[in-house]
C-alpha cells in the first residue's frame, strides 16, 4: 500500500517535504492541516489535495473519521509537537514528528505513551538515517572497517538571522541552537559510534544576550562518554556560519563528512577513499522508508521511532543541566 500523509504546518520545511514527496513510490501527500486558509488553497491546487482532506488547528481531531489519511507529519515549531502528536494519536493516525520530537524528555515520553496507548506508530523525521553515504559509513562501522571506534567529533551550526523568529523564542523552540541543529551532532554521535552515551559534560558561551535570551542557547560545546570508552566532542551553535562536519576515528580507520547533515549532497571520505553513493533527496528516501517501516516492518539501519527521539531529548536535558551546573551528568538511556 501507499502511505497517505497529511502535513501539519505548511512552513519552509513542510514545503520541502511536500516537494520531495512528489518522487516517492510508497508515500503520497493527500492532506493538509494549517491555520492559514490562503496556504491551504495554494497547496490544494499545487498538490491536488481534495477539500475533504483539509483541516485547521481547531478541527483536525475529525481526521479520525477520514479513512483517506494514514499518518500526519507534524512540521510545526518544536513547542507545539507534543500536544499535536497526542491529538493525532487520539484520532487513530500514525504520527510522524519533526526533530526535536518535543522540547524535553518529559514531553517526549508523553508522546511515546500516547502513541502506544492509541496503537499507532510514532516516527521522528531523522532523514539522515536514510541517506546513502551515512548508511554506508554505518555499515562500514558495523563491519569493523574502522576497527574499534574511539572518537567522534560533531560540529553543527549556522548563523541565525531574524531575531523575531520562533527559533529564538524559548516557548516555541524549547531552547536555542541545541534543539534545532546541535541535535544533529547528538544523534550523529550515536549512529556513527553505534552506542548510547552514559555521561555528558557541557560548556555554554553567549556573546549576544539580547538576541539569545534566557533559555535560548547560542553556543554549547559538549562531550559525551560511551560504555566502550569512546568519547565524542561536539559543538552546537547559532553564531558561526556553515558548520556541518562529522569526524570519527578508530583503531583501523577514519571517516570525515563535510557537509555531514545538510540537505545534500553529503560529501565524505574514509581511509579507503571518497564516499561515492548517489545523492537522492533525503526526504524522498525518508518518506518511502517510513512507508516500508509502517506497512512492511522494514527497519532502517538506525531506528527512527519515538524511543530514538526520546534518547536525544534525554541527552539534551542532560547537556542543559551540565552546562548550567558545570557538573558531569550521568545518563541512563
Ligand atoms: P517554519 O517557521 O518555516 O514553519 C513552521 C510552520 O508552523 C509555519 O507554517 C507556521 O505558520 C506554522 N505554525 C503553526 N502554529 C504556529 C505557531 N503557534 N507559531 C508559529 N508558527 C506556527 O519552520 P520550519 O523550518 O518549517 O520548522 C518546522 C519544524 O521542522 C521544526 O520542528 C524544525 O525543527 C523542523 N525542521 C526539520 C528539518 C530537518 O531537516 N529534519 C529542517 C527544518 C526544520
- pLDDT, one tens digit per residue, over 1-51 is 999 999 999 999 999 999 999 999 999 999 999 999 999 999 999 999 999
pLDDT at 49: 98
pLDDT at 223: 99
pLDDT at 94: 99
CA–CA distance, 85 with 36 (Å, rounded to integer): 20
CATH value of 131-278+305-330 in 3.30.360.10, 1.10.3720.10, 3.40.630.30, 3.30.450.40: 3.30.360.10
CA–CA distance, 35 with 297 (Å, rounded to integer): 34
Taking residues 136-158, what's their average pLDDT?
98
Cell of 319: 547537556
CA–CA distance, 265 with 270 (Å, rounded to integer): 16
pLDDT at 79: 98
pLDDT at 320: 98
> Helices 132-142 and 183-193, interaxial angle, to 10°?
40
Three-state DSSP class for residue 132: helix
HSE (side-chain half, CA atoms, 13 Å) at 226: 20
Question: pLDDT tens digits, residue range 201-251?
Answer: 999 999 999 999 999 999 999 999 999 999 999 999 999 999 999 999 999
Question: pLDDT tens digits, residue range 40-65?
Answer: 999 999 999 999 999 999 999 999 99
Answer yes or no: are the C-beta atoms of 33 and 56 closer than 8 Å.
yes
Concerning whether 184 is annotated as a catalytic residue, the answer is yes
Residues found in the chain: 333
Radius of gyration of the chain (CA): 20
| Residue 264, ligand 1, Cβ within 6 A | no
Concerning whether 320 is annotated as a catalytic residue, the answer is no
CA–CA distance, 224 with 315 (Å, rounded to integer): 9
pLDDT at 176: 98
| Domains of the chain, residue spans | 3-127, 131-278+305-330
**What is each CA distance from 66 to 56, 101, 170, 288, in whole angstroms?**
14, 25, 35, 22
CA–CA distance, 42 with 47 (Å, rounded to integer): 9
pLDDT class of 302 with cuts at 50, 70, 90: very high
pLDDT class of 192 with cuts at 50, 70, 90: very high
The catalytic residue among 184, 191, 238, 320 is 184
Query: Number of helices and strands (H, E) in the chain?
Result: 10, 15
**ipTM for the complex?**
0.99
pLDDT at 33: 99
Check: CATH 3.40.50.720 for 3-127? yes
Answer yes or no: are the C-beta atoms of 229 and 137 closer than 8 Å.
no
Residue 5 Cα to ligand 1 middle (Å): 17
Nearest CA to ligand 1 atom 30: 75
Cell of 330: 550521568
**Mean of the per-residue pLDDT values of the chain:** 98
Q: Output phi, psi for 12, to 5 deg.
A: -70, -45
Bridge pairing between strands 231-237 and 149-157? parallel
| Residue 187, ligand 1, Cβ within 6 A | no
Amino acid at each position: 500500500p501507499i502511505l497517505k500523509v497529511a502535513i501539519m504546518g505548511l512552513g519552509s520545511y513542510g514545503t520541502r517535504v511536500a516537494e520531495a514527496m512528489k518522487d516517492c513510490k510508497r508515500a503520497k501527500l493527500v492532506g493538509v492541516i494549517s491555520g492559514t486558509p490562503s496556504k491551504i488553497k495554494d497547496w490544494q491546487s499545487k498538490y491536488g489535495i481534495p477539500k475533504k482532506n483539509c483541516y485547521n488547528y481547531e478541527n483536525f481531531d475529525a481526521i479520525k473519521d477520514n479513512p483517506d489519511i494514514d499518518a500526519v507529519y507534524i512540521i510545526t515549531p518544536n513547542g507545539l509537537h507534543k500536544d499535536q502528536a497526542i491529538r493525532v494519536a487520539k484520532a487513530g493516525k500514525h504520527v510522524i514528528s519533526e526533530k526535536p520530537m518535543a522540547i524535553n524528555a518529559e514531553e517526549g515520553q508523553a508522546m511515546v505513551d500516547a502513541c502506544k496507548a492509541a496503537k499507532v506508530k510514532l516516527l521522528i523525521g531523522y532523514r539522515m538515517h536514510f541517506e546513502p553515504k551515512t548508511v554506508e559509513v554505518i555499515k562500514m562501522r558495523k563491519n569493523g572497517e574502522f576497527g574499534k571506534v574511539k572518537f567522534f567529533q560533531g560540529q553543527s551550526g549556522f548563523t541565525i538571522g531574524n531575531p523575531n523568529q520562533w527559533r529564538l523564542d524559548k516557548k516555541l523552540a524549547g531552547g536555542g541552537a541545541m534543539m534545532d541543529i546541535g541535535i544533529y551532532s547528538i544523534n550523529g554521535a550515536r549512529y556513527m559510534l553505534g552506542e548510547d552515551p552514559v555521561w555528558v559534560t557541557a560548556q555554554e558561551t553567549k556573546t549576544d544576550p539580547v538576541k539569545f535570551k534566557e533559555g535560548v542557547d547560542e553556543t554549547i560545546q559538549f562531550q559525551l562518554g560511551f560504555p566502550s570508552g569512546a568519547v565524542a566532542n561536539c559543538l552546537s551553535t547559532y553564531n558561526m556560519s556553515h558548520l556541518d562536519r562529522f569526524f570519527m576515528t578508530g583503531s583501523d580507520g577514519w571517516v570525515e563528512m563535510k557537509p555531514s547533515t545538510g540537505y545534500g549532497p553529503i560529501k565524505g571520505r574514509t581511509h579507503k577513499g571518497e564516499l561515492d553513493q548517489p545523492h537522492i533527496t533525503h526526504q524522498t528516501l525518508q518518506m518511502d522508508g517510513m512507508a516500508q517501516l509502517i506497512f512492511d516492518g522494514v527497519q532502517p539501519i538506525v531506528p527512527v521511532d519515538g524511543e530514538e527521539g526520546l534518547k536525544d531529548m534525554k541527552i539534551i536535558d542532560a547537556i542543559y543541566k551540565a552546562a548550567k551546573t558545570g557538573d558531569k551528568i550521568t545518563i541512563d538511556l
